[in-house]
Amino acid sequence: MSEQGTKNDDIYAKVIRAGRRTYFFDVRSTKADDYYLTITESKKFTNEDGSYFYKKHKIYLYKEDFEDFKNALAETTDFIIEQRGKEVISEKHQPDFEKKKAQQEDDNQSIGTRKAYSDLEFEDI
């Protein structure tokens, strides 16, 4: 994950890049000239033809909710770390995931071929 922060006159933005996902934390101004936070998750998807598109999800967070939001986020992230540790255990996040996936597909195809010759039903036994 890489982080980048910028500050303009009355707007502040922070970007976190995490693989195919990018998180944007943007300070915006209300009509009354007060500030609120938008959190946007942008995820890149690839079409079959190689072109790509992004799906975005946005949360609007206002000052009156900051404390509860921070507390809930801290509690839930602490819970996850306490229960599962900091190590990422998802197969998809392993460096050789694509290689293992291709090997498994090859194995499944050869097993599928063998099954076709030896399909047995319980009635056959």
Q: Give all domains of the chain, ordered by start, each with its CATH number.
A: 2-65+88-116 (3.10.450.700)
**In the structure encoding, which two tokens stand for residue 18, read together?**
């995490």
The answer to pTM > 0.75 is no
SS3 89: coil
**In the structure encoding, which two tokens stand for residue 94, read together?**
């392993």
Distance CA 98, CA 31 (A): 49
pLDDT in tens, 25-61: 999 999 998 999 999 999 999 999 989 899 999 999 9
Low-confidence ranges of the chain (pLDDT < 50): 6-9, 114-117, 124-125
